[in-house]
Amino acid sequence: VNHLLGIKYLNKDDIKLIFETADHFKEVINRPIKKVPSLRDITIANLFFENSTRTKLSFELAEKRLSADVINFSASQSSVKKGETLIDTVNNILSMKVDMVVMRHPNPGASVFLSQHVNARIINAGDGAHEHPTQALLDSYSIRERLGEVKGKKVVIVGDILHSRVALSNIFALQLQGAEVMVCGPKTLLPKYIDKLGVKVETNLLKALNWCDVANMLRVQNERMEVNYFPSTREYTQQYGVTMDVLNSLKKEITIMHPGPINRGVEITSEVADSNQAIILNQVENGVAVRMAIIYLLASKIKQ
């Protein structure tokens, strides 16, 4: 594997290697000196054509912890605004001797397109509603950390599956590792091709939560909707919002995940987000170690 474009291009041994490498880096970043000199000779460009808090900062920190040289590019402050194309933009950056590109883009397939047209290692940091592979890897890594392993676990992804790159990458990653996967949400927010993905489908939140070990709660992505979808936010929260009363009514204690950003009081209440059952900030913490592992493993191929 020369790039990380999506989970669909990985196999279960790739994921195992990433997690074992991340275990090492997690130990490193908990030392008093959090840095290793491994990538002193590597330059990485972070290209963000879409907003981000967690992914952007997590990649930058991971790169700096590995001692890589880092440049950051935000499309909204760039010559993209004057009409420069994606390939021209990236080739100009690469001519400054950049080895690796981390890219977030609103268009599905943008990372694959880039990998076919420029000479650098590409990491997909989210492409439209397609894939968000590093998010899915840090999510599985966090399940492994909390529950011991991913294999055999029952994971439900709740919410706006239709517009979610996190959902698709998680489905692929969890299935590769032998987890059972369910999606739960209103029919209007489930993609037409859902039956082809090999997942269970449930529209009743309580049934889904009573089935699962882990619930990954997604945000409704209003910014990707061309029309106002049914249900309204108020109806969505009534039917799919997770409160402490909902959690306490279940037969067993489940683990709550969320990729962020959270709409507190919509898909989960603050009490749930901040409870001991939630591993939301553990996910963010693990993101740095998992991204260090991915960058380190791809950079080792540049050096070959």
Q: Known binding site: residues?
A: 54-55, 82, 104, 132, 135, 165, 219, 260-261
Stretch that binds ligand CP, among 8-16, 46-54, 73-81, 272-280 (CB under 6 A): 46-54
At 292, the amino acid letter reads M
259 binds ligand CP (CB under 6 A): yes
54 binds ligand CP (CB under 6 A): yes
The single-letter DSSP state of residue 179 is -
Residue 8: other Cβ atoms inside 10 A: 14
CA distance 35 to 20: 18
Helix (H) or strand (E) holding 202: strand 200-202
Q: Which is nearer to ligand CP, 133 or 241 (CB)?
A: 133
* Burial class for 48, CB neighbours closer than 10 Å (0-12, 13-18, 19+): buried
Known binding-site positions for carbamoyl phosphate: 54-55, 104, 132, 135, 260-261
Stretch that binds ligand CP, among 31-39, 69-77, 81-89, 258-266 (CB under 6 A): 258-266
| Token reading at 150 | 């991913």
135 binds ligand CP (CB under 6 A): yes
109 binds ligand CP (CB under 6 A): no
Question: What minimum distance in Å lies between the beta carbon of 290 and ligand CP?
Answer: 12
Beta strand segments in 16-153, E:
43-48, 69-74, 100-105, 121-127
CA distance 258 to 133: 15
What is the SS3 string spanning 62-104?
A: HHHHCCCEEEEEEHHHCHHHHCCCHHHHHHHHHCCCCCEEEEE
Q: Which is nearer to ligand CP, 54 or 154 (CB)?
A: 54
Q: Which is nearer to ligand CP, 129 or 202 (CB)?
A: 129
Q: Which is nearer to ligand CP, 18 or 202 (CB)?
A: 18
Among 148, 152, 178, 261, binds ligand CP (CB under 6 A): 261
Peptide bond into 231 cis (omega under 30): yes
53 binds ligand CP (CB under 6 A): yes
260 binds ligand CP (CB under 6 A): yes
Q: In degrees rounded to 5, what are phi and psi of residue 181? A: -120, 135
Residue 284 contacts residue 51 (beta carbons within 8 Å): no
115 binds ligand CP (CB under 6 A): no
Q: Which is nearer to ligand CP, 91 or 107 (CB)?
A: 107
Question: What minimum distance in Å lies between the beta carbon of 48 and ligand CP?
Answer: 9
CA distance 167 to 81: 31
Q: Which is nearer to ligand CP, 38 or 283 (CB)?
A: 283
**Interface positions with ligand CP (CB under 6 A):** 52-56, 126, 135, 259-261
